């Protein structure tokens, strides 16, 4: 069965990618993996203990995004597996794609940082550059 990775950062844009993935995976025609990358925020100025506190906030946020995404897919009648990981978004998405040996990556052209003038945001373009499988960029 085909394996599809769909990335979300919680933004409305990225939920368009979820819609698209749901279409492809309908009727159990593909296995769906939802990925959310929590951007580790630990500037040098912070003590390690402070970074841990922030990480806990990030994990909570990631979990709420994930349950929203999985919930939406369920409404659309698609079962999906969620993965939350810390790291820089593009690299982590590629890493998970490699590890899970996915056949396709779906993500939005812009996420929460989106500047609409550009053709696509930095995460989408870096994933496109580095991916070893077909990538669908949803506008």
Q: Is 84 in the site for other proteins (CB under 8 A)?
A: no
Q: Is 43 in the site for other proteins (CB under 8 A)?
A: yes
Using the contact rule CB under 8 A, the part of the chain among 48-56, 81-89, 97-105, 127-135 near other proteins is 48-56
Q: Is 53 in the site for other proteins (CB under 8 A)?
A: yes
Which of residues 2, 23, 41, 119 is near other proteins by CB under 8 A? 41
DSSP string, 33-90: EEEEEE-----TTS-HHHHHHHHHHHHHHHHHHHHHHHHHHHHTT--EEEEEEES-HH
Q: Which of 85, 75, 86, 77 is nearest to 34 (CA)?
A: 85
Q: Name the phi and psi angles at 60, rounded to 5.
A: -60, -45
When the beta carbons of 58 and 83 are compared against other proteins, the nearer one is 58
Using the contact rule CB under 8 A, the part of the chain among 51-59, 83-91, 100-108, 114-122 near other proteins is 51-59
- Check: CB of residue 34 under 8 Å from CB of residue 62: no
Please give the helix or strand (H or E) that residue 83 lies within, else none. strand 80-86
Q: Is 67 in the site for other proteins (CB under 8 A)?
A: no
Q: Is 54 in the site for other proteins (CB under 8 A)?
A: yes
- Residues in contact with other proteins by CB under 8 A are 41, 43-47, 50, 53-54, 56-58, 61
């Amino acid at each position: 069965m085909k394996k599809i990775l769909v990335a979300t950062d919680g933004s409305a844009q990225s939920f368009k990618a979820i819609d698209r993935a749901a279409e492809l995976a309908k009727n159990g025609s593909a296995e769906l993996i939802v990925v959310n990358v929590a951007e580790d925020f630990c500037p040098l100025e912070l003590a390690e203990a402070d970074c841990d506190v922030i990480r806990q906030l990030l994990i909570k946020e990631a979990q709420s995004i994930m349950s929203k995404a999985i919930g939406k897919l369920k409404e659309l009648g698609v079962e999906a597996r969620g993965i939350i990981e810390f790291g820089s978004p593009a690299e982590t998405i590629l890493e998970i794609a490699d590890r899970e040996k996915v056949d396709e990556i779906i993500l939005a052209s812009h996420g929460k940082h989106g500047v609409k003038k550009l053709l696509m945001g930095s995460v989408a373009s870096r994933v496109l550059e580095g991916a070893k499988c077909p990538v669908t960029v949803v506008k």
